[in-house]
Structure 1
């Protein structure tokens, strides 16, 4: 069962029984891109947003505050431009192999993102993800308003999703693996049985249980139960 859910604040259920759960961040983990930067390119503000995103991922600024500011810069972007954004998305090398390996061993894959349902709702099912959660952009008359629709999925939101998916599946947290790159992934990595830093910022590498250096998610297969 693959469920995208409605709003960013909702948590999607996972089917049971499940042997273990792997939860990934989306931007710069599941995919190579930072989606908000691609959307910002549509109004010529990609470089500006990239710098703000980098600061947020390093943990230098509050994620929710930073996201609101960055989304404000997207006001006026037409929803029709999402097709161009989707065309630029690059799945991370090894992601399909990892998801296939998780499924073959009786596990499930969740993705929880500080990014956006508008893109993840297409990418996640194409890659075989079982459940996902993200923010949603407010739209009026076919244009982005510059605000987030609903509660922001921040570091705590990611941890809540991991715990809820594990509970839905009847799994102890010891049977979960969390994979991320930015400071807003640290809480879910701390809650998981195994926290994996992938393509990660220095602060994340320092606090992870395992650091995966190569930008190849197939490297994570060796860590699966």
Structure 2
């Protein structure tokens, strides 16, 4: 009986990578996308890659970032699957190696319960190129999920996770039901089920 579902955000609920959309503002999307792809495949240290990618955002007006964050496209079926799971009494949490500016807004649109992510540091309304938060490291998702399970009194078998990249591996280890969604091979190897169709409603088959 699943009681908690943890979703990754970028390329799982949101169609694409939040930081790549931010980087478009300064014409650095190709550089950032290249680093992101390697990090999600497990080829780069997540923390180092995150710092490197965020450094490209230095100097962007924070209002522009907020505007981009509120116009991100969602994966087909995102709202439907969250509604479906909540009707079953399942709590929905988002863990994102991305940013609260995107996940907090998406929470209002998609209807999940809470999110853990990172914060883009700003000074005088402008991004400094620095970042901090709850999801800075490759193993952050696993550590936070372990704490959440303890707080909520949940066993491994009462938890499911949905993700696509290498930084989702640690949370997969803490869950009984693991769904790799349009995922990198490194994550597919650890999954209970693999969904390759880009429609989150496919998850209904397994819950």
Give the equivalent residue in structure 2 for 1:85.
Answer: 68
- Matches of 1:19 and 1:204 in 2, distance apart? 21
Contact 2:101 2:119 in 1 (8 A): yes
CA 1:163–1:151 in 2, change beyond 3 Å: closer, same or farther?
Answer: closer
Q: Cα RMSD between the aligned structures?
A: 1.5
Does structure 2 retain, via aligned residues, the 8 Å contact 1:163–1:173? no
Task: Count matched residues.
Answer: 207
Give the structure, 1 or 2, with the largest relative contact order (CA under 8 Å, sep 6 or more): 1
> Which segments of 5 or more consecutive residues in structure 2 lack a partner in the other structure?
none
Matches within 5 A, 1:22-61: 22-61=5-44
Distance 1:19 1:37 in 2: 33
| Partner Cα distance (1:100, 1:87) in 2 | 20
Match of 1:3 in 2: none
Checking the alignment, whether the CA contact within 8 Å between 2:3 and 2:91 is kept in structure 1 is yes
TM-score w.r.t. the length of structure 2 is: 0.94
CA distance in 1, matches of 2:133, 2:90: 30
> What TM-score do the two structures reach when normalised by structure 1?
0.87
- What is the alpha-carbon distance in structure 2 between the residues aligned to residue 221 and residue 161 of structure 1? 25
- The 10-residue stretch of structure 1 (81-90 or 139-148) with the greater mean CA deviation from structure 2: 81-90
| Among candidates 165, 188, 193, match of residue 171 of structure 2 | 188
SS of 1:60's partner is coil
**1:162 equivalent in structure 2:** 145
CA change 1:151–1:169 in 2 (3 A) is closer
Secondary structure at the counterpart of residue 162 of structure 1: helix
2:70–2:105: 8 Å Cα contact kept in structure 1?
Answer: no
